[in-house]
Chains A and B, each alone.
Chain A
Amino acid sequence: MIKFQDVTKIYPPNAAALRDVNLEINAGEFVSIVGQSGTGKTTLIKLLTAEERVSKGKILVGDWDITRIRQAEISTLRRQIGVIFQDFKLLPKKTVFENVAFALEVCGARPGRIKMIVPQVLRIVGLEEKADRYPKQLSGGEQQRVAIARSLIHRPKILVADEPTGNLDSINTREIADLLLKINEFGTTVLLVSHNRELVNSLRKRVVTLDQGAVISDQEVGKYVL
């Protein structure tokens, strides 16, 4: 599904964020990527979503080599990879419904399709009752669920969660983790980047540990080892 082959990323002038990373993630897997700050976790995600380009090596998504992806193809790639962040990245002046619908609007979906799909996705994340609320009227966990709903709107094959529980309390963290597991059960490959030892250990899924830009551990049912 996703293959990182000898991937190296060097930021000018000479800061290596990733060194010869080899990683293979199968379709439908749930993989946690852990490591201390500055070990290259976010760089890995940025390379996967074509926000950054590799300095050396190759990245494959399915059969698609995205190493030298053309500018015009990036939007197609991003519709296949849903991404959520620690800071949610919701638009404060739009309601829950509008925030989720925006992802379809900007990709040219017809109004009828938007009206049909958005409530379905909001139901999956348990927010159909709060469709008319604004982000500031929601808890942190609910805001993250809106972000997850938005990331699922294009029915992506891969969901990347970059520190999704960084701003949440333990109850909301659990809710988000359960939601990610549920999405994974539906067949979506989930990549969770996290600092949260308790969360990662509780998932009992594959854990890849990065240190100074290199993979130092890859366990099928792993634990946060650092």
Chain B
Amino acid sequence: MIMFVALFRAIKFSSQDFWRNFWLSAATVVVLVLTLVSINFLIILNVLTKTAAAEVREKIDASINFNQGVPESQVGNIKSYLLSLPQVKDVEYISPENALAAFQERHQNDQAMLESLKEVGENPLGATLIVKARDPKDYPVILKVFDDPQYEAFIQDKNFDDHEVVVKKINSIAEKAKETGVGLAGLFAAVAVLIGFNTVRLTIYTHREEIGVMKLVGAANWFVRAPYLANSVFYGIFTVLFAIIITYPLIGFAEPYLAGFFEGSNFNLLGYFTNNFLQIFGWQFIGVVLLSMVTSSLAVGRYLKV
């Protein structure tokens, strides 16, 4: 019971310190909030990069164009064989008629092309198989199948548009942005440590009389030190609260633009933050409290001789 009462009083004194040194506390909280917002920016960047890379990877496929006149049953056999391969995710069959229609649509403004197609008289296109691999790295393995002489005779050509270059570029840009973000978060954290250290030092200085009396009348060491450490919890609460207040409207503002960019995908940044709310802000709260506690402990150890 005595311990509970003492703990309650330590928290009360801590709360008084926090509000009595409002501007110092505010400066510490502001820098800590900037640190968390930078971290949230990194999280957003990470989600965007992953979504963008997944979107690009989704667009990768290989086209196998068959010679004109290859029977549909033959193409069907090859399709079945491809589907049996573990590396293959999906195979789409495009009949010669559909291939022609798609070709005509693609070249509807190219009169010369349409004229020459008319001159040929019949459908010059064969069937096509669009193959999607489970992993982009598997395409060379899949396409190697068609080097087999038993298939080679049916194949007019095979295309594989390697979008990995784009994926690498996205990752490289994201990596650079991430490095900048980590640097920024580190810088803000360092400033927060310095400001927090100075805040505790000044608080100890302004309360030197009170601390002296506490020691004189036999307050336990932990009780004299506790308010400065309990302040860390106040910093944690206010910092995370303000980080949430800033991060959510920012996401809300950016979401429609980002959703337009990732049209067709199930991209939902707000949903990501809401679904992982406890994980994201819980860890951030723990991080801020630990950072402030380390700072306070250093300052208390240096300036508060009990």
Contact = CB atoms under 8 A, between A and B. Distances in A.
Interface of A: 71-72, 74-79, 83, 89, 91, 102-103, 105-111, 150-151, 153-154
Contacts, number: 63
Contacts of B2: 108-110
Nearest to A108: B6
B3 to A, nearest CB: 7
B216 A107 contact: no
A75 B219 CA distance: 6
Interface stretch (B91-99, B107-115, B150-158, B206-214): B206-214
Contacts of B224: 106
B223 A106 contact: yes
Contact of B218 (A71, A79, A91, A110): A79
A89 B212 CA distance: 8
A106 B9 contact: yes
Interface in B1-34: 1-3, 5-6, 9
B223 A108 contact: yes
Interface of B: 1-3, 5-6, 9, 209-210, 212-221, 223-224, 306
Contacts of B220: 72, 75, 107
A142 B219 CA distance: 25
Nearest to B8: A108
A162 to B, nearest CB: 11
A106 B221 contact: no
A72 B221 contact: yes
- Enumerate the 4 nearest inter-chain pairs by beta-carbon distance, A residue then B residue, closest first: A108-B6, A78-B218, A79-B218, A106-B219
A72 B220 CA distance: 7
Contacts of B306: 71
B215 A78 contact: yes
B226 to A, nearest CB: 11
Given A74-B221, A75-B218, A150-B217, 8 more contacts: A79-B217, A79-B218, A89-B216, A103-B218, A106-B6, A107-B218, A107-B220, A109-B5
A154 B218 contact: yes
Contacts of A76: 218
A75 B220 CA distance: 5
A91 B213 contact: yes
B174 to A, nearest CB: 51
A105 B13 CA distance: 11
Contacts of A110: 1-2, 5
Contact of A153 (B212, B214, B217, B221): B217
Contacts of B217: 78-79, 102-103, 106-107, 150-151, 153-154
A75 B306 CA distance: 10
A150 B3 CA distance: 22
25 contacts: A71-B306, A72-B220, A74-B221, A75-B218, A75-B220, A78-B218, A91-B210, A91-B213, A102-B213, A102-B214, A102-B217, A103-B213, A103-B217, A103-B218, A106-B218, A106-B223, A107-B219, A107-B223, A108-B2, A108-B3, A108-B9, A110-B1, A110-B2, A150-B217, A154-B217
A192 B2 CA distance: 33
A75 B221 contact: yes
B218 A89 contact: no
B237 to A, nearest CB: 24
A127 B218 CA distance: 23
Contacts of A77: 218
B213 A71 contact: no
A83 B9 contact: no
A78, A106, A110, A153: which has the most chain B beta carbons within 10 Å? A106
A71 B17 CA distance: 25
Which of B209, B210, B213, B221 lies at the interface centre, i.e. has the most chain A CB atoms within 10 A of its CB? B213
Given A72-B221, A154-B218, A105 B210 contact: no
Nearest to B217: A103
A108 B5 contact: yes
